[in-house]
Amino acid sequence: MGDEWKDLYKKPKEQPSHHEGPVLFYNDLVIDHFTNPRNVGELKNPDGQVVLGDPSCGDQTTLTVKVENNRIVDIKFKSNGCTGAIATSSMVTELAKGKTVEEALKLTDDDVVIALGGMPEEKKLCSLMGVAGLQGALEDYLSNVSAQTD
């Protein structure tokens, strides 16, 4: 047998353009946000921050925000978790950056899943961590602003 088998490994696997039924795999966009996450890190002197998750089970996310004139000007996350947790946290930062605090607070888990082109059904709960992190960091920011005006 020759080298014909090598060609099989060079061809990208085709994925259906639409799904009839539940998503059973991570699509290319989810994999991209997992392997090349956006806005990774932790801001120094953030206006709002939150740490959530359970480090004993492996899923934990820290999310920090910088807000100027009621608009998110910078946002970072650090996550120790599965593919879904990292990809959804990355997408949350992309969706929230540049939005007003009120606009960002309206982001939902469904918005994140749709922006990623879908998630496997058993991993949709992972999107909760990114959105909950965003909401927690913004609530921390709002409580800091409220405390400064009292």
Active-site residue, selected from the candidate residues 87, 126, 131, 137: 126
Tell me the residue type at 14.
E
Write phi, then psi, for 74 (nearest 5 degrees): -155, 150
58 φ/ψ angles, rounded to the nearest 5 degrees? 105, -15
82 is catalytic: no
The alpha-carbon radius of gyration of the chain (Å, integer) is 18
**CA dist., res. 104 & res. 138, Å (int):** 8
CB contact at 8 A, 77 and 39: yes
Amino acid identity for residue 95 in this structure? L
* Residue 126 designated active-site: yes
Which among 57, 106, 146, 147 is annotated as catalytic?
A: 57
C-alpha to C-alpha distance for 113 and 77, rounded to whole angstroms: 18
Q: What are the catalytic residues?
A: 57, 126
